[in-house]
Copies of this chain bind each other. A is one copy, B any other.
């Protein structure tokens, strides 16, 4: 795979955040560095980098695709209000896989845990609104 300016910029953007951005956000960031970049290029590269194992596509709820420069197995928190997703540095629960194996005819390869809640900003906004009314 060739190292083009576009590809490098995408990788840079991903490595500089921990929020697991959507394609749209990545596009905006890359555009700040390479103003003529196209959305199609961002999509194509994200998929190619994913296929090459250099980044991972997050298997999370909430609709749109999200990407992560950290390809290790780790868990996430998603804000139900603003959709932001952060890493959660929790030891990966091998016990979960062990417990799940006997319960399904599927051949299990991996797992992912997603916590749902409110990020500090959204949580505060909610309180504020409730208290003042």
Contact = CB atoms under 8 A, between A and B. Distances in A.
Interface string A51-62: 000000011111
Q: How large is the interface on A (under 10, 10 to 19, 20 to 34, 35 or more residues)?
A: 35 or more
A3 interface: no
A39 interface: no
Interface of A: 58-62, 75, 77, 79-80, 86, 88-91, 93, 96-97, 99-100, 103-120, 123
B117 A107 contact: yes
17 contacts: A58-B61, A75-B100, A86-B104, A86-B106, A88-B103, A88-B104, A90-B103, A91-B99, A96-B113, A104-B117, A106-B117, A106-B119, A109-B116, A109-B117, A110-B117, A112-B114, A112-B116
